[in-house]
Amino acid sequence: MRTALALFALLLTWQLNRLSYRFNCAPLKYWRKCVNLLVFQGLTLPWQWRRFRAPPIKLAITIAMLIVALYVIWEQAMNSRYTPPESKNSANWVAGKFVNSEKKYQTHIKNIWEISKAYISAERKEPVPKQQVPVVGISREILLNENKDVVYRLTHSTMLMKIAGHFVLTDPVFSERASPFSWFGPKRFHQSPIALQALPEIDIVLISHDHYDHLDKKAIKQLHNKVGRFLTPLGVGKRLQGWGVPADKITELDWWQSYDFNDLKFHATPAQHFSGRGMFDRDKTLWASWVIAGPQARLFFSGDSGYFSGFKEIGERYGPFDLTMIETGAYNELWSEIHMLPEQSVQAHLDLQGKAMFPIHNSSFDLALHDWYEPLERALSAADRQGVKLLTPPMGEKVELQALTETLRWWRKPQALEANTGLSMAVEL
């Protein structure tokens, strides 16, 4: 019985890691203890169970674990209820699932074991900020009165742009946690600079893929009535329809396909990643990066990706870019095929022929084994070596595309930053 429970706990931990973001999840702090007890102590040191001398305590622990396990499995089964799209005409649809153009990312028992050991043994100085992350508040009036091409970072990979007078929003995540559950999972470090309800009418929402830290079901349900059109990779639009978004407001695109909106042009471009929101829907939807081309500004949004030759091809086709918004966070050598290391992110920017780089996918959730500020420090060092202009504004601070200037290194001394600049350390929503 103990062996079965240990194996079941290990399997459940693997699924929790996988579903909650590339083997990364806040409840791992608890589940690591369970695995350590059940596997490493429960199997190899059976006498450790004598700590629980009273049989009712052991029984209660076992029942509680089974209840949680069954709930998680049921919830994930519900999230996996998905009809694969008709994608026979896509070169990326192979044997009933989407694939990458270069590297085939698969999870093997060896990977699971190595990642489990890494999570158990990881020692970090500051996995989450010890002080509040500085946030610059944004109002609806400010956005409506803005007459320049601007970009605001709201959280993680959620970017709000106003290009040629049109509002564009990427990967909207406004919930407290990047997780299928509201009660556990990676919790945000800071509030959004603007509440979802305060957003103006959004012309275009771009979705890169369907992982929880990029596609927030609750936010989509609240947001879609004020959105003109959703642009998604193949298959993701079906999810949105299931959440109440009208089909006539959704356009699904394959890699290298385009969509025109007034004087803006959007191109879905390749990425090196994977997809899935549950236990049984791996790679049933496509993932993508995006090119946003306006009359006076050209931008690139990476979504999630490992480093690959596709960046150079995108740069050759659509570059140069005034601004590249590139994933720089939630990385590790163990899964670098699907999440770039910071040095690779800077190289991707160069491949894209970017003028300035905006590192995203960091400073909002604890999704990996590095300290929360490490992605920015490593990216800054790499950028200095390569002569790249790196923009690191606080959340909510405006970036003008026609006047890209140096930004604050806010993560180093947030208290001094607040005193010297008047930035708010939190925003009341």
- pLDDT tens per residue across span 95-124: 899 999 997 776 655 566 677 777 677 788
Whether residue 326 sits in one domain with residue 259: yes
For 219-258, how does the pLDDT look when each residue is reduced to its tens digit (9 = 90+)? 999 999 999 999 999 999 999 999 999 999 999 999 999 9
Last-in-domain residue among 92, 121, 150:
121
CATH number for the domain harbouring residue 239: 3.60.15.10
Work out the percent of the chain whose per-residue pLDDT is above 90.
66
The pTM score is 0.81
The answer, yes or no, to whether residue 284 has pLDDT greater than 90, is yes
Which pLDDT score is estimated for 89?
A: 84
Evaluate if residue 50 carries a pLDDT over 70. Answer: no
Task: Calculate mean pLDDT across residues 154-176.
Answer: 98
Per-residue pLDDT at 27 = 40
Cα separation of 414 and 408, whole Å?
10
Domain assignment present for 91: no
SS (H, E, C) the chain: CHHHHHHHHHHHHHHHHHHCCCCCCCCHHHHHHHHHHHHHHCCCCHHHHHHCCCHHHHHHHHHHHHHHHHHHHHHHHHHCCCCCCCCCCCCCEECCEECCCCCCCCCCHHHHHHHHHHHHHCCCCCCCCCCCCCECCCCHHHHHHCCCCEEEEEECCEEEEEECCEEEEECCCCCCECCCCCCCCCECCCCCCCCHHHCCCEEEEECCCCCCCCCCHHHHHHHHHHEEEEEEECCHHHHHHHCCCCHHHEEEECCCCEEEECCEEEEEECCCCCCCCCCCCCCCCCCCEEEEECCCCEEEECCCCCCCCHHHHHHHHHCCECEEEEECCCCCHHHCCCCCCHHHHHHHHHHCCECEEEEECCCCCCCCCCCCCHHHHHHHHHHHHHCCEECCCCECCCEECCCCCCCCCCCCCHHHHHHHHCCECCCCC
Range of the domain at 76: 2-80+113-121
**Same domain for 69 and 168:** no
d(CA 372, CA 128): 6
Query: Where does the pLDDT of residue 154 fall: very low under 50, low under 70, confident under 90, or very high at 90 and above?
Result: very high
408: pLDDT strictly greater than 50: yes
Report the side by side order of strands in the sheet with 298-301: 258-261, 264-269, 289-293, 298-301, 323-327, 356-360, 389-390
Higher per-residue pLDDT: 203 or 78: 203
Residue 426 belongs to some domain of the structure: no
Structure tokens that stand for 312 in this block: 């150079």
- Residue 129 in any domain: the answer is no
Same domain for 216 and 300, yes or no, is yes
Q: Is the domain of 172 the same as that of 319?
A: yes
Same domain (yes/no): 74, 151: no
Which of residues 75 and 19 earns the better pLDDT score? 75
Residues 145-169, mean pLDDT to the nearest whole number: 98
More confident residue, 82 or 294: 294
Whether 75 is covered by a domain: the verdict is yes
Nearest CA to 217 out of 328, 342, 89, 78 is that of 78
63 lies in the same domain as 147: no
Cβ contact 333:310 at 8 Å: no
Does residue 85 lie within any of the structural domains?
no
Cβ within 8 Å of residue 39, ≥6 positions away: 6, 9, 10
Residue after which a domain boundary falls, among 64, 93, 121 = 121
| Residue 101: closest CA among 270, 299, 352, 320 | 270
Q: What is the pLDDT of residues 13-26, one digit of tens each?
A: 544 444 443 333 33
The answer as to whether 99 is a domain residue is no
Q: How confident is the model at residue 37 (pLDDT cuts 50, 70, 90)?
A: very low
Mean per-residue pLDDT for 356-367? 97
User: Which residue did the predictor score with more confidence, 395 or 421?
Assistant: 395
Q: Are residues 65 and 170 in the same domain?
A: no
At residue 255, what is the residue type? W
Residue 41 lies in a domain: yes
Q: Phi/psi at 27 (nearest 5 deg)?
A: -65, 0
Q: Residues of the chain with pLDDT > 70: what percent?
A: 73
Report the number of distinct structural domains present in the chain: 2
- Regarding beta strands 158-163 and 166-170, do their DSSP bridges make them parallel or antiparallel, or are they unpaired? antiparallel
Of 61, 92, 121, which residue constitutes the final position of a domain? 121
**Contact (CB, 8 A) for 226 and 79:** no
Question: Which has more confidence, 163 or 427?
Answer: 163
Asked whether the beta carbons of 62 and 51 are under 8 A apart, the reply is no
Count of C-beta atoms within a 10 Å radius of residue 139? 11
pLDDT, mean of residues 259-267: 98
pLDDT exceeds cutoff 60 at 401: yes
Close Cβ partners of 246 (under 8 Å, ≥ 6 residues apart): 224
Query: Is the confidence at residue 424, as pLDDT, over 60?
Result: no
Same domain, 331 and 213: yes
Q: Is residue 97 part of a domain?
A: no
286/393 same-domain check: yes
| Whether residues 117 and 174 fall in one domain | no
Q: pLDDT band for 55, please (50, 70, 90 cuts).
A: low
Q: Do 18 and 147 belong to one domain? A: no
Q: Are residues 64 and 180 in the same domain?
A: no
Compute the mean pLDDT over every residue in the chain, rounded to the nearest whole number.
83
* 8 A C-beta contact, residue 285 and residue 292: no
Q: What are phi and psi of 117, to 5 degrees?
A: -65, -40
